[in-house]
């Protein structure tokens, strides 16, 4: 029964590995400020060097880690005309990445280092050659590991 519940829970998440919440750029003060985005031309999406900012129906920015990751380059905050994204509010992206052991190739005894190779912070560690784990003390929540995973084993969870 528990396995069945896990299966249906995983199907509820999008192919992107992200739940029903919106992952915001790391420069906002509160969710209410995104109401001002409806007046904007979406400049943050245009200046994003990694092309991971996409606009919701109301024009507010969210991050799509399937394309790439966030370099924390500050360009979206600098370009924001309405002060929704602001350098003074810079913080880590409010998510947590988790490796699904059932989907991860390394946990299935197949050598795969896609997530480790892309991680500039050395936050992905392996026990021997297998069993990938994320060291949350090193992880900067950039999300580069998500899109390179060949089995979509890295899930984006809301940070509690």
The answer to which of 9-23, 58-72, 73-87, 124-138 has the lowest mean pLDDT is 9-23
* Distance of alpha carbon 153 from alpha carbon 99, whole angstroms: 6
Cα 3 to the center of its chain, rounded Å: 26
Phi first, then psi, for residue 142 (nearest 5°) are: -75, -30
Task: Classify domain 24-89 at the CATH topology level.
Answer: Alpha-Beta Plaits (3.30.70)
Question: 56-110, pLDDT tens digit by residue?
Answer: 998 999 999 999 999 999 999 999 999 999 999 999 999 999 999 999 999 999 9
What CATH number has the domain spanning 95-158? 3.30.70.20
Picking from 135, 140, 148, 156, the residue whose alpha carbon sits closest to that of residue 62 is 156
User: Helices marked H in 42-121 — which ranges?
Assistant: 43-47, 75-79, 114-118
Kindly report the pTM of this predicted structure.
0.83
Confidence of residue 12 (pLDDT cuts 50, 70, 90): very low
Is 95-158 the same fold as 24-89?
yes
């Amino acid at each position: 029964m528990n396995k069945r519940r896990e299966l249906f829970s995983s199907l509820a998440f999008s192919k992107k590995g992200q739940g029903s919440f919106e992952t915001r750029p790391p420069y906002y003060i509160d969710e209410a400020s995104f109401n001002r985005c409806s007046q904007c031309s979406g400049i943050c999406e245009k200046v994003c060097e990694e092309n991971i900012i996409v606009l919701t129906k109301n024009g507010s920015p969210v991050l799509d880690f399937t394309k790439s990751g966030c370099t924390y380059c500050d360009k979206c905050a600098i370009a924001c005309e309405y002060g929704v994204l602001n350098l003074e509010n810079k913080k880590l992206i409010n998510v947590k990445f988790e490796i699904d052991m059932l989907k991860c190739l390394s946990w299935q005894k197949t050598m795969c280092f896609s997530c480790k190779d892309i991680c500039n912070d050395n936050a992905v560690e392996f026990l021997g050659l297998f069993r990938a784990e994320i060291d949350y003390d090193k992880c900067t929540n950039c999300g580069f590991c998500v899109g390179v995973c060949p089995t979509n084993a890295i899930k984006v969870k809301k940070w509690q």
